[in-house]
Structure 1
Amino acid sequence: MIELVRQYWQNYLYTDGYQFTGLVITLWLLVASIGLGFCLAIPLAVARSSSNRFISGPVWLYTYVFRGTPLYVQLLVVYTGLYSLHFVHSHALLDTFFRNAMNCTLLAFALNECAYVTEIFAGTIKATPYGEIEAAQAYGMSKYKLYTRIILPSALRRALPNYSNEVILMLHATTLAFTATVPDILKVTRDVNSATYASFQAYSIAAVLYACIVFALVWAFRRMEARLLAFLKPQGH
């Protein structure tokens, strides 16, 4: 048991210079993937909600492909499939990028996250009450101001409950990172299990760590919802 605790301390919580492992890697994958996915999803959601098929069509195709195929397959395509292409490993910059397991994992996670979040945001943009749009147009707002001041702030607030679920699902999806040899929680758990043969204890500790992260995320999103969605609650007389 002492050996198990020592292994977990070294692999989950201990940091040595810039070599972060275990828990920190999982949190980094989560934050980086949802951050990149969020930033990319906002303009794509605006395009996806457009009535012009030449604008919304390519975005629909992108979200259809990434939501219609397993993330595990997408990770394998990015990590091993793309590097097998001649123009990738013959180009110095692409070769350097795709030889790094963390880069490939983060790219696959971010593209997958972006596809789901794009559809979530596009749905709330389309559901914006038309009265708000008419009021903004009557006030003389340009289309840019209409989106930045009325449509997007309202849509992002209303998308918060669905977006929080997607963030939690992304945390669960980070367990696939071990297939690309990224030392996340699950990869470290497998290494600890191989070193100690304490399978129940090893995977139980990993489950507790994931549960703690989920509880923290749920608490944070509930606080955000209470603050940002307070205007949707029925007002007492």
Structure 2
Amino acid sequence: MDWNWQVIFTYLPDLLSGVALTVKLVVISGILGFIFGLGLALLRLSSNKLIQVLPFLYIFFFRGTPLLVQIFLIYYGLSQFEFIKDSFLWEPVLKQPFWCAIIAFTLNTSAYTAEIIRGAIQSIPPGELEAADAIGMSRLQKLTRITLPRAFGIMIPAYSNEVIFMLKGSSLAMTIALMDITGIAKTISARTYTIFELYFAAGVIYLVLSWVVLLSFRLIEKRMNRHASYVPPEVVSNTIP
């Protein structure tokens, strides 16, 4: 088998043109999913069992079903209901592949993000929260000044993996005719019969994007957790013989 590597350089600009759509899908759904996931996590941590039920069922469904099925349910499934097609959201949102992909990715990643945040909050040392209670912080103050900042620092490694999973999962957007990186690779390879070369190039682009995500989160983690490696000068002086 002879591989035509020249085709990669010929169509590389076309593949790179899909990067913008891929990044847009990941960033928009990531931001919305994080906000929604935070709310779900706080509901899951409620002491009221009834309040926990709905977010639990939501998370169970979206973590337990394939992302591709969720995309199809939203893009193809919603059109089966006349009241949805007659609604004001049909033309500008639910009929558009881009926004259907955003909705599917948001719902999916919010379920995973909720569990990541919940786990991070539960892993905060109890003494830190008790100290906040001891100095008279209100529940809102403790949440915004202690609980969430500490949880965000703890969850960064796990959340960076979720963003990478979302980046790779965005390739499923091609199934509803969106021309992201994978969609462009599929179109060009079908026309040129260079399947291996085009998908190899697409894989390298995803690899580079994943590396950028990992590096970015590594820098964020280092900044948010800089207090963990800080040693007061008086401690250092006491350890010097």
Q: Which residue of 2 aligns with 1:232?
A: 228
1:155 is aligned, of 151, 155, 159, to 151
Letter matched to residue 199 of structure 2: Y
Q: Is the 8 A contact 1:8 1:192 kept in 2?
A: no
1:62 maps onto 2:64 in alignment: no
Shift of 1:8: 3.3
TM-score (norm 2): 0.89
Q: Is the 8 A contact 1:48 1:122 kept in 2?
A: yes
Q: Which residue of 1 aligns with 2:71?
A: 75
Q: Is the 8 A contact 2:116 2:159 kept in 1?
A: yes
1:86 maps onto 2:86 in alignment: no
2:39 is aligned, of 27, 43, 47, to 43
List gaps (5 residues or longer) in structure 2: none
Shift of 1:5: 3.4
2:139 is aligned, of 139, 143, 147, to 143
Q: Is the 8 A contact 1:63 1:115 kept in 2?
A: yes
Shift of 1:76: 0.4
What are the residue-to-residue correspondences of 1:76-225 with 2, within 5 Å? 76-225=72-221
- Distance, in Å, in 2 between the alignment partners of 1:199 and 1:74 is 27
- Distance, in Å, in 2 between the alignment partners of 1:67 and 1:78 is 16
- Distance, in Å, in 2 between the alignment partners of 1:54 and 1:94 is 33
Which piece of structure 1 moves more, 138-147 or 88-97?
Answer: 88-97
Shift of 1:28: 0.7
- Distance, in Å, in 2 between the alignment partners of 1:210 and 1:191 is 17
Shift of 1:36: 0.8
- Distance, in Å, in 1 between the alignment partners of 2:132 and 2:198 is 57
Letter matched to residue 127 of structure 1: S
Q: Deviations over 1:7-50 (max 9, x none)?
A: 332x234xxxxxxx411111111111111111111122111111
Shift of 1:94: 2.8
Q: Deviations over 1:72-127 (max 9, x none)?
A: 10000001001111111122333432110001001000110000000100111122
Letter matched to residue 111 of structure 2: A
Q: Is the 8 A contact 1:29 1:174 kept in 2?
A: yes
Shift of 1:232: 3.4
How many residue pairs get aligned? The number is: 229
Q: Is the 8 A contact 2:15 2:202 kept in 1?
A: no
Q: Which residue of 2 aligns with 1:7?
A: 11
Structure 1 segments (4+ residues) deviating >4 Å: 1-4, 233-237
List gaps (5 residues or longer) in structure 1: 14-20
Shift of 1:4: 5.2
Give percent identity, aligned residues only: 36
